[in-house]
Amino acid sequence: MNRTLVIPAVLLLAAWAAAQTTPAQMKNPVSAALRDILPGRQKNTVAAVEAMPADKFTYKPTADQMTFGHLVVHMAETNYLLCSKVAAVPAPKDEEGKDTDSKDKLVAALRASFDFCSDALTKMDDSKLAETTEIFPVRQGSRAWASLILAGAWADHYAEAAIYLRLIGVLPPTAKK
């Protein structure tokens, strides 16, 4: 009988203790979550791009799909656009990458875009999430909406790079763990 009361009491106490340290008590849970997610997404995405042989940056699975080099340019452009929108900071005026640029140049551009995101997200706070901004030339949205799109884009871009790698017989970085 005592055991049946002690176990639920311990579980209840543990749940109460865990609730006292949940992210809900954080001042900026959304921006903190993006900052927490970024390093892993950056590491995996850059590793996937580095894993693609230089002579395969012109590879595209079908005639209607983009080349791998174009995908990398798209990733960098998306990082600059969305990180600037969610953090309410201007994106740098860098020269636009071309899908025909060398692997080294494209990897450097991707790294720079993630570095920009890292810096921009340190300036982000959740008090601006309800603000409306122009996300894309024809799309207005809240900074909260852009935050969700950013997190999804990081996952989607890695997944797409991983698929390209698998299609040419290269194991993506997260499959090697």
Q: Token pair for residue 108? A: 């450097």
Q: According to the model, what pLDDT value does residue 66 have?
A: 97
Beta bridge partners of 132: 142
Question: Per-residue confidence of the chain (177 residues) as pLDDT tens digits?
Answer: 555 555 555 445 455 555 555 554 678 999 999 999 999 999 999 999 999 999 999 999 999 999 999 999 999 999 999 999 999 999 998 778 898 999 999 999 999 999 999 999 999 999 999 999 998 888 999 999 999 999 999 999 999 999 999 999 999 999 986
* Length in residues, the chain: 177
Q: According to the model, what pLDDT value does residue 107 have?
A: 97
Q: According to the model, what pLDDT value does residue 177 have?
A: 67
Amino acid found at 172:
P
Q: According to the model, what pLDDT value does residue 115 have?
A: 97
Q: According to the model, what pLDDT value does residue 176 have?
A: 84
Q: According to the model, what pLDDT value does residue 93 have?
A: 86
In degrees rounded to 5, what are phi and psi of residue 123?
Answer: -95, -5
For the chain, the farthest-separated pair of C-alpha atoms sits apart, in whole angstroms, at 73
H or E stretch covering 134: strand 132-136
In degrees rounded to 5, what are phi and psi of residue 98?
Answer: -120, 145
pTM for the structure as a whole: 0.84
Q: According to the model, what pLDDT value does residue 58 have?
A: 97
